[in-house]
Amino acid sequence: MKKLFKFKEWLTLEAAAKHLSGFLEEPVEVFDVLQLALDGHLMISVNLVNHAYAKLGKVIPYRQVQKHEVPLFDDKGKAILPGFENLRGEDGKRPAVGVIAQGLCIDTEAELTDETPYVVFSDEVTSIDGVWDLAMLHNERLDIEYLMLQKIDGPSLDLVSLNGTYLNRSDGTWAELQAEFDEKTLEPKGERPQDPHKSGDREEERKGTKKDPSRFYPAGGLPFKDGALLVVRVEALRKFEIENGQVEPLARPFYMDPSSPCFPPLLSPAMRAWEEATKGSTRTPKMRIADYLKEHHPDLSGQSREAIAHVFNWGRSGGRPAARKDED
């Protein structure tokens, strides 16, 4: 396992427990892996094998987050939301309105400042796949706690969070998982859904309906029923070993180390765009790169997008720049 370990991107929970048993020189069970994740010692991830729907977001400081005011008390002085009955401002008076920030605060332990990190999500619903880290903030944390208690036949976990389910990855992208309303809920009275076999291209109909944001709501947990698999990334295990032993970090060139001040900012989106270009056979690689960058990195300039596509085509053409075509 030690030789094979360095070639893997992630391990199952069972394999991660076995690996940690060797490192810690004592038995480690899946329960322990889950508890390490809950206690903040080990990053745990999910492999979205059958894809999932999500709203994507990025981190910005609180000062840049859109905000709006909401009333805290009704005409009779009763608090509209529970918990605000005894709310007082610095002057000792009850404030009439409160400020709601349009985003997700990811540093709830520290005092709120202009630089407090918030995630702002797009309104668009998109399909995501692959390995994502659990943010361990809301429903995704409750899922891990529920599974941990199951492993020891512990008490039932009845807690429910209305704050959504959140994932992130190393390139800074965040995802708020979405669930789709049942067709019966969306079906207007007096109408019946059309048979997709009689409506032409079934796949096109599915794509057209499942990306309409009005058909989705924040997911109540991880999509285990759709094949989501809990895993531990090898990089997370290496970090745990480095922080809790004498393991030396693997030497990485500066251009592959996101913590380096010389890390090229375009490298991470470029690598994912190139990976996307290798999937499927419809449209040209350059077109697939352009589609990926437009959807996931809309802030990139046209020059940056062209550079990413050009390098990919240059590498695929045996060291020679690919002949330019008017593909866009």
Round to whole Å and give the CA distance between 129 and 327: 27
The answer to whether residue 190 sits within a structural domain is no
Domain limits at 282?
Answer: 254-316
- Residues whose CB falls within 8 Å of the CB of residue 219, separated by 6 or more in sequence, listed in order: 52, 139, 164, 165, 177, 178, 179
pLDDT digit string, tens, across residues 119-152? 999 999 999 999 999 999 999 999 999 999 988 8
> Does 39 share its domain with 164?
yes
CA atoms within 13 A on the CB side of 271: 8
The answer to whether residue 26 sits within a structural domain is yes
First to last CA, the chain: 47
> Does 238 share its domain with 302?
no
The answer to whether residue 105 sits within a structural domain is no
As for how many domains the chain has, the answer is: 2
> Does 134 share its domain with 161?
yes
The answer to whether residue 160 sits within a structural domain is yes
Query: What is the β-pairing status of strands 166-168 and 174-180?
Result: antiparallel
> Does 238 share its domain with 145?
yes
pLDDT digit string, tens, across residues 220-240? 999 999 889 999 999 999 999
Round to whole Å and give the CA distance between 96 and 87: 10
> Does 229 share its domain with 276?
no
C-alpha dist (Å) from residue 89 to 92, 93, 238, 299: 5, 5, 47, 39
> Does 284 share its domain with 140?
no
> Does 144 share its domain with 180?
yes
- Residues whose CB falls within 8 Å of the CB of residue 124, separated by 6 or more in sequence, listed in order: 55, 56, 211, 213
> Does 157 share its domain with 16?
yes
Which residue do the tokens 């007096």 mark? 190
Q: Give the tokens for residue 148.
A: 């941990």
> Does 274 share its domain with 167?
no
The answer to whether residue 131 sits within a structural domain is yes
The answer to whether residue 106 sits within a structural domain is no
> Does 47 share its domain with 146?
yes
pTM of the model as a whole: 0.64
Round to whole Å and give the CA distance between 145 and 221: 12
The answer to whether residue 212 sits within a structural domain is no
> Does 148 share its domain with 233?
yes
The answer to whether residue 15 sits within a structural domain is yes
Please list the pLDDT of the chain residue by residue as tens digits (328 residues): 566 777 789 999 999 999 999 989 899 999 999 999 999 999 999 999 999 999 999 999 989 988 877 776 777 767 666 666 666 666 667 666 666 778 898 887 788 888 999 999 999 999 999 999 999 999 999 999 999 998 887 777 776 677 899 999 988 999 999 999 877 655 554 444 444 444 444 344 444 344 788 889 999 999 999 889 999 999 999 999 988 875 655 555 555 555 566 667 777 788 777 877 776 666 777 888 888 888 888 888 888 888 887 776 654 444 444 444 444 4
> Does 157 share its domain with 12?
yes
Round to whole Å and give the CA distance between 44 and 174: 15
